[in-house]
Chains A and B, each alone.
Chain A
Amino acid sequence: MSKFQFPESIKSRPVYGTLEPRGDVAYLLVADAEGAEAIYDLATAGAHVARNAHIIYLPNETGDKYTGMLQALNPAQLYIGPSYEAALSRIQRVLSNARMGLQVCLSGTEGLMGKALIEVSAAGIPHSAVQFEHSGSVARRMQCVHCKGITENVSTDPFVCSHCGLNLFVRDHYSRRLAAFQGVCIDAEDPGNVPDPVELYS
């Protein structure tokens, strides 16, 4: 699958690379949906990765499309879960036991990578030591700057805040702490004048 190339943007907007094998150490791999492909490529590039890997995988709308591929890697531990919320306590538990040198690799949607990074950071691992690879949907996790509610999987600009109902435009300004981009009211100066939603990056 060809990877989406995000256009150059402002400095708070995250950029993503390609997962690379590092030492023969423990790996924590958290991925959703098409992010499984990044794990597969990583394990193929480094034969030592799978036997050291705890994979936490959330197929979401891809169902079982990639699950067999991950099982075939024969990783040390493989968890396939129904949602991020369901996997959260497991991620926290794994991180609580992490030893110096653990390699954390996050792949898939920006929302998944961002949320997992919150847990990784809380465990004391700096974001600069974490590897990221984006794949799949370019939908965004958005914070409404007005009501503070988070709307997941926003794929159009503008969009309607799922909490307060304001029409928000999608900024590239990004908060790692919130794992969210910022949404700001689009019709504050001209109430009701809301442009038709356009698919992100279309």
Chain B
Amino acid sequence: MSIQFNKETFRDDYSFHNSERAIKRFPFPFHEDSYMYAVNMEQHQGGPKDSVYEMRFDVDEHYVAEMQDRAQVLADDPLRCQSLPHMTLAGWDLLELIMVSKSEDYPEFFELQRDGLYWRWINKPLGIDDSFTFLDESTLPYGPMEYICRQTQGDFCVLDQRDEMLWMDAGMVTTQADWSLDFDIGMNFFEWHAPVPLAHEMGIFKRALKFLLNIQQGTPARRLNWTMTVNPLLDTSPENYHKWGIQKTSLTPENIGGKQFLRVELQTFFRLPRSNALVFPIRCYLIAFEDIVSVPKWGRRLHRVIRDLPVELATYKGFIDNRPMMLDYLSEYDDGLPTSPGVWPELDTEPSLQAV
């Protein structure tokens, strides 16, 4: 498999776009016609061929452009990447995990040569060829976590584990759904999730924590989360909310199909070997409404999910004001036919859209 990397932007002219392939492999997050919080964990041991679940760290057509966007975010605000002093070893663990995984999963793009502690890393898409000494920070241009996360799609939270608790003690966060690493760093699992409505009362976080504390080396897990974003903006940070918040008001019935994006996070969880930290990559996938509804099953289902979502969730996810306009648009793609269970597009078996 070869990938053509898109020339595209996630800001200004927003030239981001998904190919036919990217649409078909989009991680649509709704397995039924409604949504509520759940501890929706599953093993992350591969998945269907060419799906976003197949590899440990999915590399797709947006890779190069996303890394360019990340570099711009970090140049503007270095606080998006921070690591408390005791987390450096976990950063090396993460660097090793990603380099080994990517060089095995994508040998045409990434190459790792190891001779004891002397390593050479070749990243062809980004034109990087660095030799360094493993565990020696002075031999890399950045700390190990920052170095490898500048070359890997998705945000990364590196969680220390102590006192039967997870602590957000390091991270690279430039594509976040409106939370601040700079503010949350050092918090425990319940504290950084404090602003999330309903889920605490449902016991979601207690169960999720119990699950995560027990993740073992070699048995990573994954789940999906989702929200909505106007324009394909990766950097929906609270830091810049005073700049991008206004874009939410730019939707019109005419432009909503191309301007309103479903934002899905593929969250994975890996135990790290030396530090016993847990790394929590949060990979963001964006898809325009007009591309979702090109898959009849997804169009029907998204309308029903958004229509029936509790007000608290629509508010927390930041689209309560735009929900009526979203429903006006989506209802055109919901003919009332039943949908098949599961997330897959089922393009060959689901009926095409009937006249609404």
Q: Which A residues are within 8 Å of any B CB, using their own CB?
A: 10-13, 143, 145-146, 148, 166, 171-173, 175-178, 182, 184-185, 188-191
Specify which chain B residues have a CB less than 8 angstroms from the CB of A11 in the assembled complex. 190-191, 193-194, 200
Specify which chain B residues have a CB less than 8 angstroms from the CB of A176 in the assembled complex. 186-187
Minimal beta-carbon separation of B340 from chain A (angstroms): 38
The answer to the question of B68 belonging to the interface, with a C-beta cut-off of 8 Å to chain A, is no
B238 engages A184 (CB within 8 Å): yes
* Residue of A whose beta carbon sits closest to that of B200: A11
* Residue of B whose beta carbon sits closest to that of A191: B246
Specify which chain B residues have a CB less than 8 angstroms from the CB of A166 in the assembled complex. 242
B191 engages A12 (CB within 8 Å): yes
B186 engages A185 (CB within 8 Å): no
Minimal beta-carbon separation of B141 from chain A (angstroms): 25
Q: List 29 A-B contacts (CB under 8 A).
A: A10-B195, A11-B190, A11-B194, A12-B190, A12-B192, A12-B195, A145-B241, A146-B238, A146-B240, A146-B242, A173-B183, A173-B194, A173-B195, A175-B183, A175-B184, A177-B186, A177-B187, A178-B183, A182-B183, A184-B238, A185-B241, A185-B245, A188-B241, A188-B243, A188-B245, A189-B248, A189-B249, A189-B321, A190-B249
Q: Which B residues are within 8 Å of any A CB, using their own CB?
A: 79, 180, 182-187, 190-195, 200, 238-246, 248-249, 321
A145 engages B194 (CB within 8 Å): no
Minimal beta-carbon separation of B246 from chain A (angstroms): 6
Main secondary structure of the interface of A (DSSP, over half): loop
Specify which chain A residues have a CB less than 8 angstroms from the CB of B182 in the assembled complex. 148
Specify which chain A residues have a CB less than 8 angstroms from the CB of B185 in the assembled complex. 177
Minimal beta-carbon separation of B201 from chain A (angstroms): 11
Interface-centre pick from B183, B238, B243, B246 (highest chain A CB count, 10 A): B183
Specify which chain A residues have a CB less than 8 angstroms from the CB of B79 in the assembled complex. 148
Minimal beta-carbon separation of B302 from chain A (angstroms): 23
Specify which chain A residues have a CB less than 8 angstroms from the CB of B239 in the assembled complex. 145-146
Specify which chain A residues have a CB less than 8 angstroms from the CB of B243 in the assembled complex. 188
A143 engages B183 (CB within 8 Å): yes
Interface-centre pick from B182, B191, B244, B249 (highest chain A CB count, 10 A): B191
Specify which chain B residues have a CB less than 8 angstroms from the CB of A184 in the assembled complex. 238, 241
* Residue of A whose beta carbon sits closest to that of B248: A189
